[in-house]
Amino acid sequence: MAISLSSELLSQPQQWQLLLLLALVSLVLLKRRLSNKGLKLPPGPARAPILGNLHQLGVLPHRSLRDLAWKHGPVMQLQLGTVRTVVVSSAEAAREVMKTHDKDCCTRPVSPGMKRLSYGLKNVGFAPYGTYWHVMRKFFVVEIFGVRHVEAAWHARQHQVEKLMSTLSGFAGEPVALKEHILSLADGIIGMLAFGDMYNSDKFPHHKNLEHVLEEAIHMQASFSAEDYFPNIVGRLVDQITGLASRRERIFKQLDTLFEIIIEQHLDPQRVKPRNGDLVDRLIDLWKDNSSTLNITRDHLKGNIFRVQDEIRAVVGGNERVRPDDLAKMFYLKMVVKETLRLHPPAPMLLPREAMRDIRIGGYDVLAKTRIYMNVWAIGRDPATWTDDPEDFELTPFGAGRRICPTLSMSTATVEFTLANLLYNFEWALPEGIMVSMQEEGKVIPLLKTPLLLVPTPYRHI
């Protein structure tokens, strides 16, 4: 009987191949169960076949995951496709990840999309932990975003803020959508610091094109990529069918062309190099010796507005503009900025980390190769952390440890300086009959779904 059954299977290859596949899958599942025996893995919601918990992420993952954490705890394990994932939603657990076990989980998981757009993970933000990351991290912290260069960047900030003040003065008494003007300011500052004064001049007519392509790249990163959760031929095939792969390649080629133009302009021997140089100049210098965005959450500022204005105007006095050295005296302004970043962090989930070895977080075993997310949006709203002291600011909107955002000083200085000038030079009011909606949209960088409209009235300096 057994011989006849074997003969029948051998005569029908598809059947015995399926049988072999089932046997292999059973062995893999058995091995996984045995290897997890005795471990105290983090709790989490039940998983759906194939998808795991992907369907539970929702339109705004930071909110969906906060709701799941209320049910399953601040250290929660999910299965996103084939990727084992842990989500941390408490300050204590986040401290364990970013301080206690910082060295054990400071690498980045590989994202096929970012791997392509960053020229094989050459971007310091996405580079895996290792020698290259160490060298480039030190270069950016010291040579680009160090205190000395933050101070040297005041020229770019003042120039762009002057443009913004002039533009807003033309809207006196009329509603204005601040978002686009703030994004334009951020683009101008970053462009000047990265590419020099040519960025906003006739010498670089590709300015608007580069701005458009970079914005498209950010939107693409917010799109669902199957290969991020199924890093195999299945994920690649799905991304090809949906058109994401071809879209990614098109954006890469457009960026590559624009970057080549910028590099060639900087290599031109006839070009007059500025005294301090820009980002490209310093990268070229580094290259010859041997590549933040800034999201300004101004739309979210609310409450305490009059106290901030009183402080700013008392410090500045009768001067026409806020000076850089005035900021050191504006303590309440700094607290308002911190409170805004706590409630509305630029990146609610931060960039993911990956455990390089087995560790324990919150008393649970987190296995090597596990992807780790910090839900800083949920941490910033955790009643166990934030009690009745509104001025007790201990927050991590820019991350911490080895992977803390190197643009922290630059970003904070830009936000404070711009906000101080906006509040000093204008009185602000809502248009008649308009209410503020705090409903968000966007997965990577949530923004207000309904743009904030405000009416600026120029303030008469005494």
- Report the DSSP pairing between strands 371-374 and 83-88: parallel
Q: What is the distance between the alpha carbons of residues 215 and 236, in angstroms, rounded to a whole number?
A: 24
What is the amino acid identity at position 432?
E
DSSP 3-state assignment of 122? coil
Report the DSSP beta bridge partners of residue 76: 87
DSSP 3-state assignment of 456? strand
Kindly list the distances between the CA atom of residue 178 and the CA atoms of 192, 276, 411, 449, in Å, as whole numbers in the listed order: 21, 32, 18, 14
Do the Cβ atoms of 45 and 68 come closer than 8 Å?
A: yes
Name the CA radius of gyration of the chain, rounded. Answer: 26
- Report the DSSP pairing between strands 453-458 and 426-429: antiparallel
Q: Can you point out the beta strands (E) in 163-309?
A: 176-177
Please count the CA atoms within 13 angstroms of the CA of 436 that sit on its side-chain side. Answer: 12
Q: Which two tokens stand for residue 316?
A: 């500045």
What is the DSSP code (8-state) at residue 347?
S
Whether 405 has a binding-site annotation, put simply, is yes
Report the DSSP beta bridge partners of residue 354: 107, 371
Instruction: Give CA torsion, residues 405, 350, 454, 179, to 10 deg.
Output: 70
Q: What is the distance between the alpha carbons of residues 166 and 169, in angstroms, rounded to a whole number?
A: 5
* Among candidate residues 164, 186, 259, the one with its CA nearest the CA of residue 410: 186
In the annotated binding site for heme, the residues are 405
Which residues make up each annotated binding site? 405
